[in-house]
Structure 1
Amino acid sequence: MLNRQPAAAELPANILSEPVIIPRDSHPISRKQIPEHALKVLYRLHNSGYDAYLVGGCVRDMLLDIEPKDFDVATNASPEQVRGLFRNCRLVGRRFRLAHVVFGREVIEVATFRGHHEVSADEQTDKVSRQDKEGMLTRDNVYGSIEEDAQRRDFTINALYYNIADFSIYDFANGMQDIEAGVIRMIGDAETRYREDPVRMLRAVRFATKLNMRLDKSVSGPVKELASLLQNIPAARLFEESLKLFAAGKGVANFEMLSEYNLFQQLFPQLKSYLKAPDEAPYQMIRQTFADTDLRIRNDQRITPAYLFAALLWWPLQARMEQLKLEGGLSDMDAMNLAAADVLGKQVQSIAVPKRFTIPAREIWQMQQRMERAKGKRVQTLLTHPRFRAAYDFLLLRAKTATPSERPHLEKQADYWTRQQRGVEIPSAADQARSDEAPAKRRGRRGGRRRRKPQQSE
Structure 2
Amino acid sequence: MNPERRQFPQPELRIVPRSAHALSRKQISPGALRVLYRLHESGYAAYLVGGAVRDLLLGGHPKDFDIATDATPEQVRQLFRNCRLIGRRFRLAHVVFGREIVEVATLRGQDGEGERQVHDDGRILRDNIWGSIEEDALRRDFRVNALYYDISDFSVRDYVGGLEDLQRRELHLIGDPEQRYREDPVRMLRAARLSAKLGFEIADASAAPIAELAPLLADVAPARLFDEALKLFMAGYGLASFHQLERYGLLRWLLPALAAALTRDRDGALRRMTERALANTDARVREDKPVTPAFTFAVLLWSEVQPEAQRLLDSGVEASAAWHRAGQMAIAEQAQRVAIPRRFGVVMEEIWALQPRFAVRTARGRVQRLLTHPRFRAAYDFLLLRVEQEPALAELAAWWTAAQGQPDVALPAPAAATRPAGSAALEDAAPRTARRRRRGGQRKRNPGGGDA
Q: Shared topology, TM-score over 0.5?
A: yes
What corresponds to 2:404 in structure 1? 421
Provide TM-score, normalisation by structure 1: 0.84
Task: Please tell me whether residue 359 in structure 1 is matched to residue 346 in structure 2.
Answer: yes
Alignment of 1:127-166 (within 5 A): 127-166=114-153
How far is 1:401 from its partner? 2.0
**How far, CA to CA, are the matches of 2:400 and 2:250 in structure 1?**
38
Give yes or no for contact 1:282–1:315 (8 Å, CA) kept in 2. yes
* Partner secondary structure for residue 141 of structure 1: strand
Please state whether the residue corresponding to 1:128 is helix, strand or coil.
strand
Q: Deviations over 1:200-250 (max 9, x none)?
A: 111111111111111100111111111111111111111111111111221
After superposition, the C-alpha distances for 1:131-154 in whole angstroms (9 at most, x for unaligned) are 223211110011111111001001
- 1:321 shift after superposition: 2.0
Deviation at 1:370, TM superposition (A): 1.5
Letter of the 1:145 partner, please give it. S
* Cα deviation, residue 75, structure 1: 0.6
The DSSP-based 3-state class of the residue aligned with 2:129 is: coil
Alpha-carbon distance in 1 for matches of 2:335, 2:22? 44
Match in the other structure for 1:50: 44
Does 2:38 match 1:70? no
Does 1:341 pair with 2:324? Answer: no
Structure 1: 5+ residue stretches without partners? 1-5, 426-458
> Quick check: 1:266 aligned with 2:253?
yes
Q: Which has the larger radius of gyration?
A: 2
Correspondence for 1:401: 389
CA shift at 1:62, angstroms? 0.5
Corresponding position of 1:167: 154
Superposed displacement of residue 167, structure 1: 0.6
**C-alpha distance after superposition, 1:34-83 (max 9, x if no partner):** 11111111111111111110111000011001001111110111111111
CA deviation profile, 1:352-400 (whole Å, cap 9, x unmatched): 2112211111111111112212421111111111111111111111112
What letter is aligned with 2:8?
A: P
Distance of aligned partners of 1:300 and 1:36 in 2 relative to their CA distance in 1, 3 Å threshold: closer
Instruction: Establish whether residue 210 from structure 1 lines up as the match of residue 204 from structure 2.
Output: no
Q: Distance in 1 between matches of 2:129 and 2:379?
A: 50
Alignment check: 8 A CA contact 2:257 2:303 kept: no
> Does the C-alpha gap of structure 1 residues 51 and 278 become closer, same or farther in structure 2, counting only changes over 3 Å?
farther
For residues 155 and 407 of structure 2, the distance between their equivalents in structure 1, rounded to whole angstroms, comes to 59
- Of stretches 54-63 and 354-363 in structure 1, the one that deviates more from structure 2 is 354-363
2:79 corresponds to 1:85: yes
CA offsets per residue over residues 408-448 of structure 1, 9 Å max, x none?
Answer: 2x1221121111111469xxxxxxxxxxxxxxxxxxxxxxx
- For residues 250 and 90 of structure 1, the distance between their equivalents in structure 2, rounded to whole angstroms, comes to 31
CA distance in 1, matches of 2:266, 2:103: 42
CA distance in 2, matches of 1:424, 1:146: 67
Q: Which residue of 2 aligns with 1:3?
A: none
Name the aligned partner's letter for residue 405 of structure 2. R
Distance 1:73 1:346 in 2: 38
Decide which of 2, 5, 21 is 1:27's aligned counterpart: 21
In structure 2, the partner of 1:12 is: 8
Q: Distance in 1 between matches of 2:285 and 2:40?
A: 38
Aligned pair 1:322/2:310, yes or no?
yes
Cα distance in 1 for residues equivalent to 2:387 and 2:159 = 53
1:281-322 CA-to-partner distances (Å, cap 9, x unmatched) read 223222222122223323333221111111111120122223
Moved more, 315-324 or 239-248: 315-324
Query: Distance between the aligned counterparts of 1:424 and 1:228, measured in 2?
Result: 55
For 1:93 and 1:298, how far apart are their aligned partners in 2? Answer: 31
Q: Deviations over 1:316-340 (max 9, x none)?
A: 01222233345x4212322111111
TM-score, reference length from structure 2 = 0.85
Aligned equivalent of 2:394, options 397, 400, 411: 411
In structure 2, distance between residues paired with 1:32 and 1:26: 16
Q: CA deviation at 1:272?
A: 2.6
Please name the residue that 1:224 is paired with: 211
Aligned mates of 2:15, 2:288 — CA distance in 1: 39
**Matched residue, 1:241:** 228
Which residue pairs with 1:431 in the alignment?
none
Measured against aligned partners, the alpha-carbon deviations of 1:167-217 in whole angstroms (never above 9, x if no partner) come to 111100111111011111111001110111111111111111111111100
SS in 2 for 1:95: coil
In 2, Cα distance between equivalents of 1:211 and 1:334: 44
Three-state SS of the structure 2 residue aligned to 1:43 is helix
Task: State how far apart, in whole Å, the 2-side matches of 1:275 and 1:304 are.
Answer: 23
User: Within 2, Cα distance between the matches of 1:84 and 1:423?
Assistant: 62
Read off the aligned partner of 1:75 and give its amino acid letter.
T
The yes-or-no answer on 1:105 pairing with 2:99 is: yes
AA aligned opposite 2:221: P
Query: How far is the alpha carbon of 1:280 from its aligned partner?
Result: 3.0
